[in-house]
């Protein structure tokens, strides 16, 4: 039985002016930046790094996301659904935001092959919004059908890191030809993201990342877990020219008390601002949204009037399309209160930290790409969050302790 929750078109004013753009209840009021002259003179010593104030009582939210992994890589094929052409664009694992523009370009190219005047997009996450905007740029009138808008969609719970090949495929299943497709998506996405740099709110920006270790690391790193682990594909070598390579910093040149400190610079997405920017662009180009919930392809055929449909339902495609090739990969984030003076990321003892405008992301990643694999739990685990924050608190309790200013 089809149950539609269609409430009619949602206007730009409703979305941009109302509560639907408040990501999971996270306000932006705490993200005001401090004056640059005051930050520049702060006594944080080497590398100009400010400490993260990590403590359990500074965790203001815990979110969980199920990433849609497919062993063969993202689904980008075409099928006929009654009198409608359906182009699939889902199954990007942990690389949805990073590859969205490149993947969307491929999907929209197939969708516009017959020059349709109207296109429907199912889903309002990273892939749905970018595909919708690309279809608009190709000349189509676009309507997004979705149960949840971006602030409630799973894409809003991502870390916001530029992770091009994070659980994107299994090398043995995707095959050698996938590398070229992946590279096309990666390069297209990178070029498109350049146009979002420097916009108000910094929806996309570059930041330094520090990897701390007790021993020397060979980059790029590869999984070295026990036998029986999945052979996740790693393709970053194909685009090494896009971003700086990791460098080993001189001893005691940073406030971190670790034998080996590596630094690189990478792109990040401040998803609250970036999502708002995408929604603004979509509505400014005349886009419409309809609240709708689909339980089968037949529901889509019966409800959607547009002749071409781009299916961007992410993990939801597992149930909607009965696609058992989609495997969930659970990821959890503990959110620390944002600090305007902290503008970098850290990897320490299997915990990843990234400062965003809407909060400081703390995520346990022990087990590497296998962590959370085939785990369907979307309920936050407070013990996991406390353990991760505890490791970071321990790190910053020694911040600058080797002969430099210590400020916590």
CATH of the domain at 405: 3.30.9
Does 228 reside within a domain? Answer: no
369 falls in which pLDDT band (50, 70, 90)?
Answer: confident
Assign 356 to helix, strand or coil: strand
Compute the distance between CA of residue 332 and CA of residue 103 in angstroms, rounded to an integer: 25
β pairing state of 308-311 and 118-122: parallel
Assign 56 to helix, strand or coil: helix
Domain boundary among 279, 296, 324: 324
The C-alpha angle 42, 391, 243, rounded to 5 degrees, equals: 65
User: 393 and 375, same structural domain?
Assistant: yes
Least confident of 82-91, 135-144, 310-319, 370-379: 370-379
Does 149 reside within a domain? Answer: yes
Compute the distance between CA of residue 149 and CA of residue 152 in angstroms, rounded to an integer: 6
CATH code of the domain in which 308 resides: 3.40.50.720
Does 7 reside within a domain? Answer: no
User: By the 8 A CB rule, do 92 and 127 touch?
Assistant: yes
pLDDT tens-place string over residues 262-274? 999 999 999 999 9
* Number of domains observed in the structure of the chain: 2
The helix (H) or strand (E) run that includes residue 364 is strand 359-364
User: 184 and 297, same structural domain?
Assistant: yes
User: 129 and 109, same structural domain?
Assistant: yes
- Give the mean pLDDT of 375-382: 95
Instruction: With a cut of 70, say whether residue 24 has pLDDT above it.
Output: no
User: 172 and 254, same structural domain?
Assistant: no
User: With left for phi above 0 and alpha for psi between -120 and 50, is residue 402 left, alpha or beta?
Assistant: beta
User: 159 and 87, same structural domain?
Assistant: yes
Does 18 reside within a domain? Answer: no
User: 167 and 137, same structural domain?
Assistant: yes
Neighbours of 392 (CB within 10 A): 23
Does 126 reside within a domain? Answer: yes
Does 232 reside within a domain? Answer: no
Does 303 reside within a domain? Answer: yes
The mean pLDDT value of the chain amounts to 86
User: 302 and 285, same structural domain?
Assistant: yes
Token reading at 65: 């996301």
Token reading at 293: 């919930």
User: 295 and 402, same structural domain?
Assistant: no
User: 310 and 210, same structural domain?
Assistant: no
220 falls in which pLDDT band (50, 70, 90)?
Answer: low
Residue 91 belongs to what domain range? 72-203+270-324
Q: Which of 323, 324, 315, 304 is nearest to 86 (CA)?
A: 304
User: 112 and 54, same structural domain?
Assistant: no
User: By the 8 A CB rule, do 159 and 360 touch?
Assistant: no
User: 87 and 170, same structural domain?
Assistant: yes
pLDDT tens-place string over residues 338-364? 999 999 999 999 999 999 999 999 999
User: 275 and 261, same structural domain?
Assistant: no
Does 254 reside within a domain? Answer: yes
Domain boundary among 283, 309, 324: 324
Beta bridge partners of 68: 328
Q: Which of 109, 269, 261, 150 is nearest to 205 (CA)?
A: 269
Q: Which of 317, 326, 318 is nearest to 373 (CA)?
A: 326
User: By the 8 A CB rule, do 408 and 50 touch?
Assistant: no
pTM: 0.85
4 falls in which pLDDT band (50, 70, 90)?
Answer: very low
Instruction: With a cut of 70, say whether residue 27 has pLDDT above it.
Output: no
Least confident of 220-224, 323-327, 369-373: 220-224
């Amino acid at each position: 039985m089809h149950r539609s929750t269609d409430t009619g078109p949602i206007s730009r004013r409703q979305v941009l002016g109302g509560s639907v753009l408040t990501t999971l209840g996270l306000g932006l009021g705490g993200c005001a930046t401090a004056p640059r002259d005051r930050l520049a003179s702060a006594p944080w010593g080497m590398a100009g790094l400010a400490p993260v104030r990590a403590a359990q009582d500074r965790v203001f939210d815990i979110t969980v996301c199920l990433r849609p992994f497919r062993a063969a890589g993202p689904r980008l094929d075409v099928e006929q659904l009654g009198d409608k052409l359906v182009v699939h664009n889902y199954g990007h694992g942990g690389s949805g935001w990073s590859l969205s523009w490149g993947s969307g370009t491929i999907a929209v190219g197939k969708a516009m092959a017959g020059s349709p005047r109207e296109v429907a997009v199912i889903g309002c996450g990273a892939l749905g919004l970018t595909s919708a905007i690309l279809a608009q740029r190709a000349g189509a009138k676009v309507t997004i059908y979705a149960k949840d808008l971006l602030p409630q969609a799973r894409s809003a719970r991502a870390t916001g890191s530029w992770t091009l090949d994070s659980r994107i495929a299994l090398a043995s299943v995707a095959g050698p030809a996938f590398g070229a497709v992946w590279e096309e998506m990666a390069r297209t996405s990178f070029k498109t993201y350049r146009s979002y740099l420097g916009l108000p709110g910094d929806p996309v920006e570059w930041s330094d990342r520090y990897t701390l270790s007790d021993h020397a690391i060979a980059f790029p790193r590869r999984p070295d877990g026990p036998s029986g682990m999945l052979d996740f594909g790693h393709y970053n070598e194909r685009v090494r020219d896009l971003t700086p390579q990791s460098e080993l910093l001189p001893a005691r040149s940073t406030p971190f008390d670790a034998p080996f400190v590596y630094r690189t610079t990478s792109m990040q997405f401040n998803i609250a601002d970036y999502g708002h920017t995408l929604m603004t662009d979509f509505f400014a180009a005349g886009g419409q949204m309809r609240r709708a919930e689909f339980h089968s392809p037949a529901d889509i055929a019966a409800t959607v009037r547009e002749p071409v449909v781009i299916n961007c339902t992410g993990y939801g495609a597992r149930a909607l399309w009965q696609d058992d090739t989609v495997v969930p990969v659970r990821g959890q984030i503990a959110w620390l209160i944002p600090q305007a003076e902290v503008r970098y990321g850290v990897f320490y003892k299997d915990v990843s930290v990234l400062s965003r405008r809407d909060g400081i992301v703390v995520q346990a990643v022990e087990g590497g790409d296998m962590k959370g694999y085939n785990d369907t739990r979307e309920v936050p685990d407070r013990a996991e969050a406390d353990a991760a924050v505890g490791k970071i608190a321990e790190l910053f309790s020694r911040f600058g302790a080797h002969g430099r200013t210590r400020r916590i």
